[in-house]
Structure formats: structure tokens, C-alpha cells
Amino acid sequence: MDQLDQLEAKSLFILREAYREFRSLCMLWSIGKDSTVLLWLARRAFFGHVPFPLVHIDTHFKIPEMITYRDRLARELRLDMVYGENAAALAQQETFPDGKVDRMTCCRSLKRDALRHTLAGDWPRYRLDHGSGEYRLDPSREPYTGVIVGARADEEGSRSKERYFSPRDQSSEWDVGDQPPELWNQFKTDFAPGTHVRVHPLLDWTELNVWEYIEREGIPVVSLYFDQGEGRRYRSLGCWPCTQPVASEARSVADIVSELRSGKFARVAERAGRAQDQEDGGGLETLRREGYM
């Protein structure tokens, strides 16, 4: 069993534990490489079927190709696809691209608030109707109390403080200093009523592991990750006004694996192209403490 086999086996175990322990479970799908690998692992864990909804928080400022990819894959794989949004902030143009707020305020509004209220079920959610191929208002307002997330410990500092099963309070707020120990692969999955739990099956994976797995399994990813002939590609995907590509001539998954193994980005943070990270002092812990994904 090689390293990827070991990572895969542990992630499958955590996914199955989450499905067994949490009645109202969903999985966040940001459309990026990590959560798409997580989607593939979920299909493997449950024999080709994903037995819980995939939830995407749509800021309406994602790079358009990302949304096209999301909906194509959701239809092809017959995924139970749900999205939520901060409709009021969008309608009032209280966003950074509209020039009314700074980047961090925009993130809090379009991502943090939208996520908290979408998970709680107190804001409208939209579910893909596979009959028509369109999204319809979801009549269900049941809160999701178990949320599977594709966070990796090596991606940025605050993620390295997570547990495989990380509790939040009823408002989705995170007390970093009050988390259960996880020793010798013994996970705490029994929490008090009302606890909201984030589940992190990819915590041990690195950026290189993710791309090696994508290569090994032939997982389709958004073409934005590849150089289209301009000597640039996206290393991390987000909203178009705040996300910049990196200099790279990698045109395939094999090229990206080779590039990462070469150490080209060894001293460059994976999210260096995310402008909001710079405004937050280089970390996302503040947002994550408040319920950010």
C-alpha cells in the first residue's frame, strides 16, 4: 500500500464514520481541486453514489467557467446539488466588486453569512432538479448539522488547527482552544445536542498528494488550473475580482505534479493569489472562527 492508498483509506473511513454518526449531513463543494477529490472519495466510499447533498455557496462572482463545470458535473453524476447565497447583499450591491465594501467585508457577507444561513436553513436554498436541469427553490429548511469540508492542514495556518471532527457552536463559531484530542486515530464523534460539526477527511493530504490522486484516478478538474498559452494558471480558485493566477507553463495534470515535485512553489503560499488573505494579515483564522468554510 503506497502513500496515496493510505490517505485514501483513512479518508474513506472518516467519510463512512460521518455518514454513520450524523443524521443531517452535507458536503461543501467549492468546485476547486480539493473538494472535487473529496467528491470522488465520497463516490468511492459509497460505491458510486453520494448519499448526501453537495452544497455550494454561490457568491455570483466566481469565475464563470467554475459554475459551468459545477453544473455539468452535477448533471452527469446525478448529484444532489444545492446552492445558497446572500441575496440581500447582492441585490443591494453591498460587495467589493461593486465598490461599496472592502474585500474582507465582502467575504464575510457573501461567504461566511451565506454559509451560516444556508446550513441553518433560514435562508432560501436552491436544489438542482434533474428533470428540468434547472435549480428550484428547495422547500426543505432542515439544518445541516454535519458538514464535510475539503480543508487540508498544509493549505494555510488556521486549517492546521482543525480536527478531523471539529465542533462549532449553534452559530457555527469555532473555539480553537476548545477542541477534542484525536489520538491514535480515535475520533470523537459524540457531541452535545445543537453542536455543529465540520468533518475534514483531507486534513493529512498535501497539495502534491491531491494532484497525484487526480492524475491516478483521472478526475476531471476545471481547465483554469492549466496554462492556456499565456504562461499563467490558477493554483487556487476563488472569486474573479480577488484571485490571480501564478506564472506557470503547466498544461496538464502531469505537468502540475512535475512542477510541484520540482519545488518551484516551495516558498510560495498556495493561496498567494487570494487578495483577501493579504487583507486579513495573511491568515483566515478570523473568518474561520466566525463560521467561514
pLDDT at 96: 92
82 vs 11: CA distance, rounded Å: 23
Asked if 26 contacts 53 with a C-beta cutoff of 8 angstroms, the reply is: yes
Q: 288 by DSSP, 3-state: which?
A: helix
221 vs 68: CA distance, rounded Å: 12
pLDDT at 277: 62
Return the H-helix or E-strand segment holding 199.
Answer: strand 196-199
The CA-to-CA distance between both ends of the chain, in Å, stands at 32
> What angle do the packed helices 253-261 and 207-217 form, to 10 degrees?
150
Q: 47 by DSSP, 3-state: which?
A: coil
At 136-176, the pLDDT tens digits run: 999 999 999 899 999 998 877 777 788 899 988 877 788 88
- Residues of the chain where predicted confidence (pLDDT) is lower than 50: 282
Q: 38 by DSSP, 3-state: which?
A: helix
**In Å, how far are 2, 48, 62, 64 from 73, measured between CA atoms?**
29, 14, 16, 15
17 vs 13: CA distance, rounded Å: 6
**In Å, how far are 76, 84, 155, 249, 272 from 255, measured between CA atoms?**
27, 35, 20, 8, 20
pLDDT at 183: 80
